[in-house]
Amino acid sequence: MAIVGVLALQGSFNEHISALRRLGVKGVEIRKPEQLLNVASLIIPGGESTTMAKLAELHNLFPALREFVRMGKPVWGTCAGLIFLANKATGQKTGGQELVGGLDCTVHRNFFGSQLQSFEAELSMPELVATEGGPETFRGVFIRAPAILDVGPEVQVLAHCPVSSNSNVNSNSTGEDKEEKGSESKVIVAVRQGNLLATAFHPELTSDSRWHSYFLKMAGEVDGSSSSIAIEGVDNARLERSKSDLPIFL
């Protein structure tokens, strides 16, 4: 059975572990640097990024996390985890926060606004659908969410989110990947760069396990052992159900 580490300092780590369990994969909580030695891949969950950074610093996790990324081990960051992985973050609180880095992008920490401006959106994700099948879109759950303003040449963009000009999202960002389309623009919300995967939204807060399955297969490709990862219990019929069957958490 594949074992995936889930950083368990704060945030939605239990939801990631439950999502992994649905795929027949064991997720283990990671709170200390030495625990990273026991896993070959890692998920950094959503949560309050400043709080997570302070706890990571308290437990001296940053050097071990950076080495984990540097060694080419697969890491997936969701929401706050995306901020952790970015080389640069804007919209920081006074004094900023420490980052793990490795992902060649700039992230706006609170691009979509406050907790009250959280929302859900159907996102077009051709790469995910080509790999995992299922519905043509994925319901992205955005909770006080970041967005990716620009990416380096080695970063593969996996998904955009439409941003209406009259919406409540942050209107001060001038990221290069906001493309005008009538009264709408779009911003990057999912990327991959080699061993690193990042999403601005929370796949762990839906019953759709395709992003977790995608990460497991990606991890197998990175460590060269894809044939050894058996993803159990995937209900393809469930994935083909109406997208409205997925739960709403707001």
What is 186-216 written as a DSSP string?
A: EEEEEEEETTEEEESS-GGGSS--HHHHHHH
* Burial bucket for residue 112 (CB in 10 Å: 0-12, 13-18, 19+): buried
The per-residue pLDDT for range 30-43, each reduced to its tens digit, is 999 999 999 999 99
Q: Which residue has the higher pLDDT, 168 or 101?
A: 101
| Token digits of residue 70 | 């540097």
| pTM listed for this prediction | 0.83
Closest C-alpha to 53, from 99, 12, 93, 7 = 99
Check: CB of residue 50 under 8 Å from CB of residue 97: yes
Does position 231 have pLDDT exceeding 70, yes or no?
no
Give the pLDDT confidence score for residue 114 in this predicted structure: 74
| Cβ atoms of 139 and 243 closer than 8 Å | yes
Active-site positions read 79, 202, 204
Q: Domains of the chain, with CATH numbers?
A: 4-165+185-225 (3.40.50.880)
pLDDT more than 70, % of the chain: 78
Which residues line the annotated binding site?
A: 47-49, 109, 143-144
